[in-house]
Structure 1
């Protein structure tokens, strides 16, 4: 008799766990229930040994929807607003690079790992990109990937909870270009943004399924060409898919792998969050940008996750998106050259490195 792959059953199990987690979170009125509920439920079940699965295509679908939805906020007025905040955006990118450098020094000493692993574990960039760079320069890829998984988990859970407990909510200062759902227009936007995602992936753009669709939507919206709003159920579904995919990265031995290293990552992430909050409070008066918006812009999370948080809490979505994209681009551009420069000028850092 033919043997069928267990993957479909594991996918269904994974979806059921993620959906139950989201529905429980909705019932409990937690912040970002569709993403956080799916993430926590999936991560807990995976660490507990449940053999469920997600799939990269589902994560890409969720990112596609989020990228399209974010682009709808970039009206001509918003684009002008962002253009007037270039200096804060550059400052935010520089802040992320400096935090990463400080984190590398901390991890090297606190966790006792070689500099390459410490450097690419603390750099606030895309998890996949940092793991690839770590592999190229002799770091331990498994530790780097685990570090970024834990960092994103902590930021995605703690930052929204912090906003909830502080009672901070947004005012919808930057509404999307349109609130009307038009099915033909929505279909056209998905077709165009899908092409954008495939092109971004073809040229090797990081976070291609977020940034590709977002770039296409921004190009249209900034020219007053928003064909349709995004239905709420699609946004909720996208959050569930992203939370599910984040939780699926965890394994039963996740916290047993190099416990000293993982404890150091936890401390580093908490410090990075505190520093982001402090920097946001300090920069707010000088920039004219609200502290909550700056906190999300400077938070050491992922682009999609922080922008979802901004959208749900109505906290300056375009500015948060701009801060996160600027940071990601800067980190990806400078990480490799900066690492090589550090080894060249500080040969002692090579000790224990490949």
Structure 2
């Protein structure tokens, strides 16, 4: 417990420092790199379970407070392009799974395919062992995939837009008020309760976004949030993702050899291509397209969009739709996997 708290404090400081020197998505990346260092040093610390859900709820509440009613009409415009990229993503996952099986020489088909199902990582990992897949390899591969995306996309997006560590548009630094404390307390508590009663993919994030919008729009009429609250949420996500990439994960990936690096590289390349397709089919900027469709976790990409001032509410909405859609097609995917 003491070590876990110490790592959180150091990660928050690293996030603040990175943000202070204007590193793109500084809060997120500073904490992520700190988590990676401790993870690879065999820290033995894990934040899975309620700590991670708490961080998701904090990020979700912050995003929800930025939402306006106009967003619901905007989301409908992008459903067509999102469906196209979802189909492409699922097809790419099967192709990459087949390549991983053929190139590795040591993985069975089901393990390889489970490694490359693009989304709903926790759900995929939890059911993989039921289908004779090696859940340790599946967990290592999904952990590496998400860590890789969260590590490099903020740098690329920040450099692309040359925005460094600026605050989210419309959210200037303001004093913390009772309304803020009450809103975050109610939202996080209710999101945890709803997630325990009605489990959904990225449920803690989804419930917190919806509740944050309702409380901010109709109960307290909150117009601004202290910028450091969003930074703390991003840092918590960063360190909790970072510590997952430990020595055990690295050793398991090494067993597959260079093939694992090659497949992860293809995942990254495909994500840029998928974002390009989305960009062609919509009027969205390329960076927002990338954050909206990349298979790197709804929470992680929502936090990244928030950190980079890149339409966080829209990105969160499209990412959640993407994850839920993949989860909804999971029975079909599993049916296919059983027969390959």
TM-score by length of structure 2 reads 0.87
CA distance in 1, matches of 2:108, 2:240: 29
Q: Is the 8 A contact 1:71 1:217 kept in 2?
A: yes
User: Deviation at 1:328?
Assistant: 0.3
| TM-fit CA distance, 1:163 | 1.9
What is aligned with 2:66?
73
1:29 to 22, 40, 45: 22
Distance between the aligned counterparts of 2:243 and 2:147, measured in 1?
A: 12
Instruction: List alignment gaps of at least 5 residues for structure 1.
Output: 1-7, 350-354
Structure 2: 5+ residue runs without aligned partners?
Answer: none
CA drift at 1:154: 0.5
Distance apart, 1:145 and its partner CA: 0.8
Match of 1:98 in 2: 91
Q: 1:291 matched to which residue of 2?
A: 286
- Describe the shift of the 1:228–1:105 C-alpha distance in structure 2 as closer, same or farther (beyond 3 A): same
For residues 257-272 of structure 1, the aligned pairs below 5 Å read 257-261=252-256, 263-272=258-267
Higher mean displacement: 308-317 or 263-272: 263-272
| Structure 1 equivalent of residue 250 of structure 2 | 255
C-alpha offsets along residues 274-322 of structure 1, whole Å, 9 cap, x if unaligned?
Answer: 2222233344243112111111112121111111111222222233122
Equivalent residue, structure 2, for 1:336: 331
- Partner SS state of residue 35, structure 1: helix
Report if the CA contact (8 A) 1:90-1:326 is conserved: no
Matched, 1:12 2:22: no
Equivalent residue for 1:235, pick from 227, 230, 240: 230
Instruction: Give, in whole Å, the separation in 2 of the partners of 1:77 and 1:19.
Output: 34
Which residue of 279, 285, 306 corresponds with 1:311? 306
What CA deviation, in whole Å up to 9, does each residue of 1:71-119 have, x standing for no partner?
Answer: 2233111211112222122223223322222221121112231122112
Partner of residue 154 from structure 2, selected from 149, 160, 165: 160
Question: What is the match of residue 209 of structure 1?
Answer: 204
Give 2:32's match in structure 1, choosing from 31, 39, 60: 39
Aligned ranges 1:68-217 → 2 under 5 Å: 68-112=61-105, 113-169=107-163, 182-184=177-179, 186-217=181-212
Aligned-pair Cα RMSD in Å: 2.9
Any conservation in 2 of the 1:173–1:316 contact (CA below 8 Å)? no
Give the 5 Å matches for 1:268-283.
268-283=263-278
Per the TM alignment, residue 30 of structure 1 is displaced from its structure 2 partner at its CA by 2.2
User: For 1:140 and 1:74, how far apart are their aligned partners in 2?
Assistant: 41
Q: Is the 8 A contact 1:73 1:174 kept in 2?
A: no
Worse-matched range after superposition: 191-200 or 32-41: 191-200
* Contact 1:76–1:221, Cα closer than 8 Å, also in 2: no
Q: Secondary structure at the residue paired with 1:31?
A: coil
Distance change >3 Å, CA 318–CA 172, structure 1 → 2 = farther
Q: Secondary structure at the match of 2:247?
A: coil
Q: 1:14 touches 1:42 (CA, 8 Å); kept in 2? A: yes
Q: Deviations over 1:162-206 (max 9, x none)?
A: 123334559999857xx8964235414531452133212322212
> 1:5 — aligned with what?
none
Q: Are 1:24 and 1:37, in contact at CA under 8 Å, matched by a contact in 2? A: yes
Structure 2 partner of 1:3:
none
**Separation in structure 1 between the aligned mates of residue 54 and residue 179 of structure 2, nearest angstrom:** 19
